[in-house]
Structure 1
Amino acid sequence: MPWLMVAATVIAGIVTIRPMGFSGLGLVVALLFLVNCAVLAARLLPEDLVPERSVVVWLALGVVAAAALLGTSRTGSAYLFAFFLAGHIGYRLDTRPALALAAFCSLLCGGVLYLRAGPDNHALTVVVGLATGIAVLPGMAARSRAQATQAAISAAEASERAARAEARTAVLTERSRIARDVHDVLAHSLAGINMQLELADALIDTGDLVKVREATGKAHSLVRESLKQAQWTVHALREDSLPLQESLIAMLESSGHRNALTVTGAVRELPAQVTQNLLRIAQEALTNAARYAPGGEVGVQLRFAEGSTTLTIRNRPATKPVATGPGSGMGLIGMRERVALLGGTITTGPVTEGPDRGGWQVEAVIPG
């Protein structure tokens, strides 16, 4: 740890460096020793606290102080300050300024020791002085490891943020799906039941009990249909897979349309999500047909192609009075959302030609 190395260097300096006192050369050595301690202690400061240019100037002054301590002290471990300072240079600065400052440290310390040593010790002292800058290499390696660790931590944090955002998006998507299912089950069913009960209430005053029973019978039928729809919703929320063809037949028969399903192409099993959304689209279209075109015949076609599945619901014009107000528009929005989630397309609009002219058509094409 950095503070342990600094502490060890300071203790070694106090114990071994001589002369050190309060006057003459001892005072100079003591002051230089304190300056070197201050330079090494600066490595404990956070990197973002001091500007880069100030750090370079401070470390350059530290190199000068370390070389001066080497030149003034006679014995001891004064050279440790130069070694640890060079290591900190490699850790603190980028590669180019670190190498330049380390070279300056080596040349300055080598020159000082060359001038101090006698003729017989020039080679050894020069080697020791020049070697002080080599400590920059371990410092640079430690810097690389620290940067790699920080990059890994940043990547992990970014991944965690992305995972949280994805989870939130999934929750919102699921909420939208549940909202569509609740709308399909409650809004349509309750609207149909309310319409039949209002009709029965109006017929009571006429005394036509046959029509009253017919209206209440339809209300009961809608209640049973609502229970089936609730079952479908529970299946959808549990992500259970329903058989598409059989479910469409049951849905049509419960709506009073027998033999209304036509299947073309090679029948295959579809993913649960595709089946659920196609059933919801069919349910929405049939509910709208019963509301806006009562009495009109309904035909459903399910086409299996090589790269897509197409569901078409077409109803003829109403043959009975339409006793309902404008809808909320949420049904069409829900259908578009369902198809968009599957990457498909949906078209809705009036039928302008053929035997169903004047009616309405919904066609959903799901790829895959």
Structure 2
Amino acid sequence: MGYGRAVPVSESVPVPGSARGRESGPRATARHDPRVQWVVSLGVIAVGIATIRPVGSSGRGLAVVVLIALNSLFLLGRNVPEDRVPPRVGVVWMVLGLVAAAALVGTARGGTSYLFAYFLVGHIGYRLPLAQAAPLAVLGGLLCGGVLYLHLGPGHEALPWGLGLSTTLPVVMGIISRSRQRAVEAVIESAESAERAARAEARTAALAERSRIARDVHDVLAHSLAGINMQLELVDALLDTGDLAKVREANDKAHSLVKESLKQAQWTVHALREDALPLMASLTAMVESSGHRDALTVGGTVREPPARTVQHLLRIAQEALTNAARHAPGGDVRVEVTFAAASITLRIRNGPATLEAAGPGGGMGLIGMRERIAMVDGTLTAGPITEGPERGGWQVEAVIPE
């Protein structure tokens, strides 16, 4: 009745932001696919081996082979995850890679030796902050352009020195890629935070639902079983007196309480299954089943309030009637429902007991009523009646705003 079903919370689901959630969730997709990086790196190395000359086992050919191997090593190093390389080691590794790339440009006679410098500088822009990436990119361009301009090797005959300077440009693409990835990660982090908040809210809702079910079980079982137990104890005591008429009366009363308990259990099942119950029809049946016919009066224009309000009003009425039967047996009971423009008031009054009352209760009934009324921002007052024909009785008044 007006409550959402409990949200299932599985502890086995990886929490966003955890190690498992990051590696298998959307954050992993925001990073560069390592397989693509490996394919590109191996492709550059294959093109270099196929085109860069001279290659030999001695002299300049051997030097070119060694430089190709070094450049390949530095290029493959960009596939190592950032968190596995200390920042200083990473900077030193990239500087050495630039030196090796410039040396290859100056030593080789032609081919695609400059590709190693291009891809390494681009990775510098992606891997390092702008304050570090820009100076290293300029350094790479000056080194590659310088070896060609100063004719430090045979490469100047096939490659213009301006091509060496152009190796600075890929840093821009790396910086743009880095900025875009940071933006994507920021969006993903925001989404993960929202999901964590939703999971926390779901856990809170589940706990609140468990508390509600506990209150409903208490309302149905604790008071009903207490009343039945009281009648059975009375039957046991009357058996010793031999007064069969009173024994039958107490036994009938116990049967009546059992039937009432079944009805209350049915109301509880309806609530847990989110079935909406009509307020006035349910309240009338509840009052009559408690043995007080024509005790219900209505004021104002009757309307059907929200299901949540109906549930709380019925539970409060049930609790108050049960308390009246337990603590003031035989006393008159009056139930009033007043429909105002912005609220509904439920007032239950009972006169003093005319029969022997049961012992004091545990006080959970009044606590449960106050908890319920607090859920709908209403007010509840309960206390003895000090004047009028019902003096010495008890009154419960609940006001729920709409």
How well do the aligned residues superpose, as a CA RMSD in angstroms?
A: 2.6
| Equivalence for 1:287 | 322
CA distance in 2, matches of 1:245, 1:127: 91
Tell me, yes or no, if the aligned pair for 2:327 and 2:359 is still in contact at 8 Å. Answer: no
Q: Deviations over 1:275-332 (max 9, x none)?
A: 122101110111111111222222222222222222222223323222x333233323
Q: Deviations over 1:220-274 (max 9, x none)?
A: 2212212221221222122122121222222222222233223223322111121
| Equivalence for 1:108 | 143
| Equivalence for 1:168 | 203
| Equivalence for 2:374 | 340
Tell me, yes or no, if the aligned pair for 1:117 and 1:125 is still in contact at 8 Å. Answer: no
How far the C-alpha of 1:141 sits from its partner, in A, is 3.2
How far the C-alpha of 1:175 sits from its partner, in A, is 2.5
Gaps of 5+ in 1: none
1:326 partner letter:
P
Tell me, yes or no, if the aligned pair for 2:260 and 2:289 is still in contact at 8 Å. Answer: yes
| Equivalence for 2:334 | 299
Question: Does 2:327 correspond to 1:261?
Answer: no
Q: Describe the SS at the equivalent of 1:116.
A: coil
Tell me, yes or no, if the aligned pair for 1:110 and 1:128 is still in contact at 8 Å. Answer: yes
| Equivalence for 1:198 | 233
CA distance in 2, matches of 1:358, 1:116: 114
Aligned length in residues: 364
TM-score, normalised on structure 2? 0.82
Equivalent residue for 2:182, pick from 147, 172, 176? 147
Equivalent residues in 2 for 1:78-93, closer than 5 Å = 78-93=113-128
**Range that drifts further, 5-14 or 258-267:** 258-267
Question: Does 2:87 correspond to 1:52?
Answer: yes
Equivalent residues in 2 for 1:217-236, closer than 5 Å = 217-236=252-271
Q: Describe the SS at the equivalent of 2:252.
A: helix
Equivalent residue for 2:250, pick from 193, 209, 215? 215
Tell me which stretches of 4 or more aligned residues in structure 1 moved more than 6 Å: none
CA distance in 2, matches of 1:365, 1:100: 73
Tell me, yes or no, if the aligned pair for 2:104 and 2:113 is still in contact at 8 Å. Answer: yes
Q: Describe the SS at the equivalent of 1:262.
A: strand
| Equivalence for 2:75 | 40
TM-score, normalised on structure 1? 0.89
Tell me, yes or no, if the aligned pair for 2:327 and 2:360 is still in contact at 8 Å. Answer: no
1:339 partner letter:
I
| Equivalence for 1:330 | 364
| Equivalence for 1:74 | 109
User: Which is bigger in relative contact order (C-alpha 8 A, separation at least 6)?
Assistant: 2
Tell me, yes or no, if the aligned pair for 1:239 and 1:273 is still in contact at 8 Å. Answer: no
Q: Describe the SS at the equivalent of 1:306.
A: coil
Tell me, yes or no, if the aligned pair for 2:328 and 2:353 is still in contact at 8 Å. Answer: yes
Equivalent residue for 2:160, pick from 125, 144, 158? 125
How far the C-alpha of 1:201 sits from its partner, in A, is 2.4
| Equivalence for 2:49 | 14
| Equivalence for 1:136 | 171
CA distance in 2, matches of 1:331, 1:307: 27
CA distance in 2, matches of 1:125, 1:116: 10
| Equivalence for 2:5 | none
